[in-house]
Amino acid sequence: MSKVLITDALSARATEIFRARGIEVDERIGLAKADLAQAIADYDGLAVRSATKVTAEVLGRPGRLRVIGRAGIGVDNIDVAAATKQGVVVMNAPFGNAITTAEHAIALLFAVARQIGAANASTHAGKWEKARFMGVELYGKCLGIIGCGNIGAIVADRAIGLHMKVAAYDPYLSPERAKALGVEKVELDELYARADFITLHTPLTDATRAIVNRGSIAKMKKGVFIVNCARGGLVVEADLKAALESGHVAGAALDVFAEEPAKSNLLFGMEQVVATPHLGASTTEAQEKVAVQIAEQMADYLEVGAVVNAVNMPAVSAEDAPKLRPYMRLARQLGNFVGQLAAAAPLKRIAIEYEGAVAQLNTRPLTAIALEGVLAPSMETVNMVNAPVIAKERGIEVGETKYERAANYASLIRVAAETGRGRLSVSGTLFADEHPRLVEVNGIEIEAELAANMLFVTNHDKPGFIGRLGTVLGDAGVNIATFHLGRRTRGGEAIALVEVDDAIAPAVLDRVRDLPHVKEATALCCF
């Protein structure tokens, strides 16, 4: 009989589902790290929320542990790399909190607009300060939504119901999807200039970290209100405090903070700030949804080996796994290559093509993992299971084409993306049926093995360029591991793909971009 350990407070429905499926359950809430590390060896599954920290140390000797289920979307409290290394599947419940988090954002909009927190404290203190708490209406105001995915779209729907005008910034939001939602798709600076209220619903990535800072606040309307129910790292709290003190920002409502649990914070005590302790997912309904979802997923895995919403394991049958494994690595690398080149450009369409022997296999998981690769550079929670859903929600068309004929290679996978800046495409194959190789970028032939740290340069084919590029890298102490070149025509467009030992610093990348004949230069992480 399989056994599951629950170490955070979950809805009782989770325990009921496990036991109904013939799985033994123990609840040991709040285990210390050392006790957790010792306990998991005796269980097949571990079910947690956010309080339990499943670190590499905890996973040092996992024993019989086969699956970790996170009742919620974020897996920041789980060392996924360590779990993967130990052969432990990590699952999450990505959609159960969406409505609850969106409703909390709307609640905070009302609270900050009407100064409910401060007025409540004043009234409880026996004061009657009607004139002091003059609020503003939401009706007719412009709400700027940064990140219009699943949660942002729900916030937009509720705001439209309040007769607010909604403008949304999201690189992945298509015009068709924006129209269907009833929102106006705008660029970020335009949103800053127009919005009376700004609410954040974007993941924390390198592109969104500190998106609300002194510079961006200066572009906002005087008297703007800011709401954050997404991730604390999106806001530079010191810059927000200064803007509140100057009056440029009229008020802020925060459910998340840079450091949590936030027992103290420089924004605490400010009358213009409404603060809640990360309550976005804290409703009875949401907690039951995620508990039921994760219990059912874990039970399915423990009983029949089905993998759903895994963040570190493809959804592949045992029969297909040996055949697909090398192709899955290739497909993800190609997708990730395209995703990093696309950067913040709006994605309109992603097309995956299969030629030769690979076209005769089950390509659905290959398409899913290629799509994950494209989206991963801009999203923190995407995986091969939810990537197709996310693409559909964002209005990104996904196409798959198979050509059973073989051209130059026995098998070939091509990943192409149409963006607001044009078309990108990369192709790859397997050497000796197991080693991924890049063989084409944007129609230019090149042969390279993708690696963890790479520099991709598009340039004009001119004498001396390679030497100057090598000099810039050498002067910066960057060691070159491999160097691959390709060109469209003599003297025409050329590309260079350089593997280096360590990640390239932004300053070095800027020096590469300043070289004569360079059109574009991008630091890539391909693994």
pLDDT tier at 385 (50, 70, 90 boundaries)?
Answer: low
- Residue 3 makes CB contacts below 8 A (sequence gap 6+) with 23, 24, 25, 26, 42, 43, 44, 45
Residue 407 has pLDDT above 80, yes or no: no
Q: Which of 415, 442, 469 is the last residue of a domain?
A: 442
Note whether 400 and 526 are same-domain residues: no
Note whether 38 and 113 are same-domain residues: no
Catalytic residue flag (residue 449): no
Note whether 49 and 118 are same-domain residues: no
pLDDT of 181-215, one tens digit each? 999 999 999 999 999 999 999 988 888 999 999 99
Range of the structural domain that residue 482 is part of: 443-527
- Residue 467 makes CB contacts below 8 A (sequence gap 6+) with none
Catalytic residue flag (residue 248): no
Per-residue pLDDT at 210:
95
Task: List the single range of 118-127, 256-265, 302-311, 461-470 with lowest mean pLDDT.
Answer: 302-311
Per-residue pLDDT at 386:
72
Tell me the pairing of strands 165-169 and 184-185.
Answer: parallel
- Residue 279 makes CB contacts below 8 A (sequence gap 6+) with 104, 255
- Given the residues 49, 66, 104, 231, the one annotated as active site: 231
20 CB-side CA count, 13 A: 10
pLDDT tier at 33 (50, 70, 90 boundaries)?
Answer: very high
Residue 228 sits at the vertex; the CA angle it makes with 70 and 117, to the nearest 5 degrees, is 110
Give the Cα separation of 414 and 438 in Å (integer). 10
260 CB-side CA count, 13 A: 17
Structural domains counted in the chain: 4
Catalytic residue flag (residue 278): yes
Task: List the single range of 97-106, 273-282, 428-437 with lowest mean pLDDT.
Answer: 428-437
Residue 133 φ then ψ, to 5°: -105, 75
Check residue 469 and report its DSSP letter. H
- Given the residues 137, 176, 260, 445, the one annotated as active site: 260
Give the Cα separation of 315 and 32 in Å (integer). 33
Per-residue pLDDT at 316:
60
Residue 324 in domain = yes
pLDDT of 63-106, one tens digit each? 999 999 999 887 889 998 888 878 788 999 887 888 999 999 99
DSSP string, 342-389: HTTSPEEEEEEEEEEGGGGS--HHHHHHHHHHHHGGG-SS--TTTHHH
For the residues 139-155, what does the mean pLDDT come to?
Answer: 96
Note whether 130 and 242 are same-domain residues: yes
Residue 102 in domain = yes
Q: How many CB atoms lie within 10 A of CB 93?
A: 23
Residue 140 near residue 165, CB atoms below 8 Å: yes
Note whether 109 and 248 are same-domain residues: yes
pLDDT tier at 62 (50, 70, 90 boundaries)?
Answer: very high
Note whether 183 and 111 are same-domain residues: yes
How far from the centroid of its chain's Cα atoms is residue 438's Cα?
25
- Given the residues 13, 278, 468, 488, the one annotated as active site: 278
Per-residue pLDDT at 381:
62
Residue 309 in domain = no
Note whether 196 and 248 are same-domain residues: yes
